[in-house]
Amino acid sequence: MLEITNLRVRLPVEGQPRTVIHDVSFAIGAGEAFGLIGESGSGKSMTAKAVARLLPEGAACEGAIVFDDRPVLELGGEDLRRYRSHDVAMIFQDPRASINPVRTVGDFLTEAARTNLGMRRPAAEEKAVALLAEVGIADGGRRLRQYPHQLSGGLLQRVMIASALMGDPRLLLADEPTTALDVTTQSEVMAILGRLRAEHGVAMLFITHDLELAGAVCDRIGVMYAGSLVEQLPSTALHEDAVHPYTRGLLTSRPSVTETVRRLPVIPGKPLSAFEAPDGCAFAPRCPHAIDTCRDEEPALVDDVRCHRVGDI
Amino acid sequence: MAPILEAEGLRKVFGTNTAVSEVSFALRRGGSLGIVGESGSGKTTTARMLVGLEAPTSGRILIDGEPVGRVRSTARRRARARQIQMVFQDPYSSLDPRQTISSCLEEVLKVHFRHTAEERRRRVTELADLVGLDERMLRGRPGALSGGQRQRVAIARALAAEPEVLILDEAVAALDVSIQAQVLNLLADIRERTDVSYILISHDLAVVRQITEDVVVMYQGAIVEAGPTAQVLDDPQHDYTRRLRASVPGPGWVPGKALATKDAS
């Protein structure tokens, strides 16, 4: 349904074009959940923004994003509006930052349906209340009259999910939707997202820094480093079969809730953005397995892994 | 030996809300105690009372066996500040963007000690070594540093006062996974090399498991469970602790499964 091929994005920073996405390719099938993982600056949020066509002004994209045979990067005018209102919806990390604090929850939930889908207010409100019930908010009618500050973070994120589903999208772009929430609330919100995806047949691009969370809720996982997708694998294979040294490093450097180790294995150095990356493999300076080839030649994505040493380690 | 820090029946009321009620615990010298709970559980208010940023409504705090009273003189307030230091969550908002890192560390030393300029410079270098900052970073301002480096500065600044207790309020929560591991190892090293004790406030049970020996679990302002960290996390007794434990994603985790027990609480 969604296919991204060799996506490359440059953004102007102080007049200079800077690469924020170097080379990203992956596909998401209808109803599938794809987890995109990476540290800050890896380009995971930019990838989602490119898919939603929400990149900042002046961004230059190369490569292709195809949604149902439509070239997303070339859409304009009415086609783009239709794509954004009917096909994709986005949920952001901080619900409080993406809702107007002086308008009611009802205004927020029904605005898009009234302007884009031409629904009358009572019909839109009826749909909103039904969706609120689906995300576990029983007294939807009352909630529609409330303001954002009267709702907790967890409730507000459920309102965001309901709002994303108002246009019956086929692809949900969820950018760290539970990072600002408590763990028990995160568990609830992920359960709701999982159920709704199953019931409505919605596909999801789930962006997170939490490998374990992505592994638990997604079908497949893509790991990003310095603007490139470095490994892609089924979630079930995450712990056993991940081979890229960066993926392995991420898995082992996280402390475990079930055991204490004397020292955590660390990935030395700090994560890089695409424009800071050296020639060759971007991960080479931090990689324990790097050899001269890694520093000189950029590895290609072969069998879903971007690493020169994949056969040796 | 008396615990280095003790809380006895701490209670804090804001207006009609009781943020913290009947919180008691003891931190042994050189030990590491975790306080876990979710937003609104009272863990941060408890930390603020420990460092003197909030006055308890009732209950008392003992440092090295001595009750901490209301301090009126500057000298006594400083003496207390020397004993307990705090590292905050956000390394971006807890440093002055216009101050170089070395002057930030020197400032703390000037307040607490009567060093000569030479001694002070030596101490700054020592602190920088302890947390892994180099000369170039010391001359720079926070803007030139990454999140992990800034958090190292915040830890060095807290250690500059040579405190008995370091309170780490979600001090690694905002860091990237690979940087978080580096800072957690650093915190373990510092505790081995100095005799500082930690109180770690966190919602992240894996981080708590890694760097604490004992833990108290807070829920709605009160402690619902306490004990050795491994025991509490492996065999949680209170329903809320079980729910918290079951919410941590891992292999075979199903979101929402933990909620099945929610009604019983």
User: So where are chain A's domains?
Assistant: 2-296
Asked if B178 and A190 come within 8 Å (Cβ–Cβ), the reply is: no
Interface test with B, best of A182, A183, A190, A223 (most B CBs within 10 A): A183
Q: How does pLDDT run across B123-181, given as a tens digit for each residue?
A: 999 888 888 888 888 998 888 887 778 888 999 999 998 899 999 998 888 788 888 89
Residue B70: its pLDDT value, please? 67
- Indicate the SS3 state at residue B73: coil
Do residues A176 and A149 touch, judged by C-beta distance below 8 A? no
Residues of chain A positioned with their CB less than 8 A from the CB of B251: 212, 215-216, 239
A302 has pLDDT over 80: yes
Residue A116: its pLDDT value, please? 84
The answer to whether residue B235 neighbours chain A at the CB level (below 8 Å) is no
Distance CA A287, CA A131 (A): 47
Asked if B255 and A194 come within 8 Å (Cβ–Cβ), the reply is: yes
Asked if A216 and B209 come within 8 Å (Cβ–Cβ), the reply is: no
Residue B260: its pLDDT value, please? 52
Query: If pLDDT is split at 50, 70 and 90, which confidence band does B91 have?
Result: confident
Residues of chain A positioned with their CB less than 8 A from the CB of B147: 40
Which CATH superfamily includes the segment(s) B5-234?
A: P-loop containing nucleotide triphosphate hydrolases (3.40.50.300)
Q: How does pLDDT run across A224-259, given as a tens digit for each residue?
A: 999 999 999 999 999 889 999 999 999 999 999 998
B259 has pLDDT over 60: no
Asked if B177 and A260 come within 8 Å (Cβ–Cβ), the reply is: no
- Indicate the SS3 state at residue B65: coil
The answer to whether residue B14 neighbours chain A at the CB level (below 8 Å) is no
Mean pLDDT, range A197-203, rounded to an integer: 88
The owner of tokens 């490998």 is: A211
Distance CA A287, CA A293 (A): 13
Q: Length of chain A in residues, anyone?
A: 313
Asked if B234 and A212 come within 8 Å (Cβ–Cβ), the reply is: no
Residues of chain A positioned with their CB less than 8 A from the CB of B188: 262-263
Residue B258: its pLDDT value, please? 57
Q: Minimal Cα distance from A269: which residue of B?
A: B179
Structural domain spans, chain B: 5-234, 235-265
Output the CA–CA distances (angstroms, integers) from residue A48 to A34, A86, A88, A92, B256, in the order listed.
Answer: 12, 17, 11, 11, 26
The answer to whether residue A153 neighbours chain B at the CB level (below 8 Å) is yes
Q: What is the DSSP letter of A83?
A: I
The answer to whether residue A239 neighbours chain B at the CB level (below 8 Å) is yes
Q: Are strands B58-63 and B5-14 parallel, antiparallel or unpaired?
A: antiparallel
Mean pLDDT, range A55-68, rounded to an integer: 91
B265 has pLDDT over 70: no
Distance CA B181, CA A307 (A): 24
Mean pLDDT, range B77-81, rounded to an integer: 76
Between residues B8 and B80, the one the model is more confident about: B8
Q: How far is B234 from chain A (nearest CA, A)?
A: 7
Query: If pLDDT is split at 50, 70 and 90, which confidence band does A163 have?
Result: very high
Burial code (b: 16+ CB inside 10 Å, e: under 16) for A183-201 equals bbbbbbbbbbbbebbeeee
Closest CA to B104 of B148, B75, B143, B73: B143
Give Rg (Cα) of chain B: 19
A180 has pLDDT over 80: no
Do residues A92 and A207 touch, judged by C-beta distance below 8 A? no
B240 has pLDDT over 90: yes
Q: In what order do the strands lie in the sheet with B197-202?
A: B84-87, B165-169, B197-202, B32-36, B214-219, B222-228
Residue B262: its pLDDT value, please? 43
Query: If pLDDT is split at 50, 70 and 90, which confidence band does B216 have?
Result: very high
Residue B263: its pLDDT value, please? 39
The answer to whether residue A102 neighbours chain B at the CB level (below 8 Å) is no
Residues of chain A positioned with their CB less than 8 A from the CB of B185: 263-264, 266
Residues of chain A positioned with their CB less than 8 A from the CB of B184: 255, 264
Question: Which residues, other chains included, contact A128 with Cβ-Cβ below 8 Å and sequence gap of 6+?
Answer: A106, A109, A110, A113, A140, A144, A162, A166
Distance CA A210, CA B195 (A): 33
Entry pTM: 0.86
Interface test with A, best of B32, B150, B210 (most A CBs within 10 A): B210
The answer to whether residue B260 neighbours chain A at the CB level (below 8 Å) is no
A195 has pLDDT over 90: no
Residues of chain B positioned with their CB less than 8 A from the CB of A192: 256
CATH class assigned to A2-296: alpha beta
Q: Minimal Cα distance from B146: which residue of A?
A: A270
Percent of chain A scored above 90 by pLDDT?
58
Mean pLDDT, range B33-45, rounded to an integer: 90
Residue A134: its pLDDT value, please? 85
Query: If pLDDT is split at 50, 70 and 90, which confidence band does B264 have?
Result: very low
